[in-house]
């Protein structure tokens, strides 16, 4: 499946968002928690990263003439079923996180946000890599386990 311009644009946006996050001086967890401007910027950047993942999944399904599922997590599972993603559950966790920060924004623990930036940005990179490999024709087949 060749990558289309919209998917590529979304992946570039995701990668730029990650580069921004990786360059921001977070300080230690206490400094990060005390800096409301930085905290909110990081929350928004993480949200936009997940939104990019969701958009990419929907665009790929549309390119394959498949309707979107009821939820973003189900769309990721469909990409797994198509052999595009190895483990949709890894990315579905990010979607659940996005839903939490969108709908429960008043309850976000700064330590969780800090930990995500320090320890979990690799999931976004892995997603972009898997999509690019699949679009280049290097998808995993059902027997590739």
Query: Could you tell me the end-to-end alpha-carbon distance of the chain, in angstroms, rounded to an integer?
Result: 21
Domain 5-133's class? mainly alpha
- pLDDT by position in tens, the chain (length 145): 556 788 999 999 999 999 999 999 999 999 999 999 999 999 999 999 999 999 999 999 999 999 989 999 999 999 999 999 999 999 998 898 888 888 777 778 899 999 999 998 999 999 999 999 988 874 444 444 4
Domain ranges of the chain: 5-133
Write down the pTM of the prediction.
0.85
Token pair for residue 79?
């990409």
How far is residue 130's CA from residue 139's CA, in Å, rounded to a whole number? 8
């Amino acid at each position: 499946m060749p990558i289309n311009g919209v998917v590529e644009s979304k992946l570039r946006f995701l990668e730029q968002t990650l580069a921004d996050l990786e360059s921001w001086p977070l300080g230690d967890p206490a400094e990060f928690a005390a800096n409301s401007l930085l905290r909110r910027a990081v929350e928004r950047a993480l949200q936009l990263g997940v939104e990019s993942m969701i958009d990419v999944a929907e665009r790929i399904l549309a390119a394959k003439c498949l309707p979107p599922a009821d939820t973003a997590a189900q769309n990721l599972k469909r990409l797994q079923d198509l052999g595009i993603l190895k483990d949709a559950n890894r990315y579905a966790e990010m979607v659940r996180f996005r839903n939490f920060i969108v709908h429960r924004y008043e309850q976000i623990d700064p330590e969780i946000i800090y930990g995500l930036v320090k320890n979990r940005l690799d999931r976004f990179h892995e997603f972009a890599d898997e999509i690019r490999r699949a679009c280049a024709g290097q998808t995993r087949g059902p027997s590739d386990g």
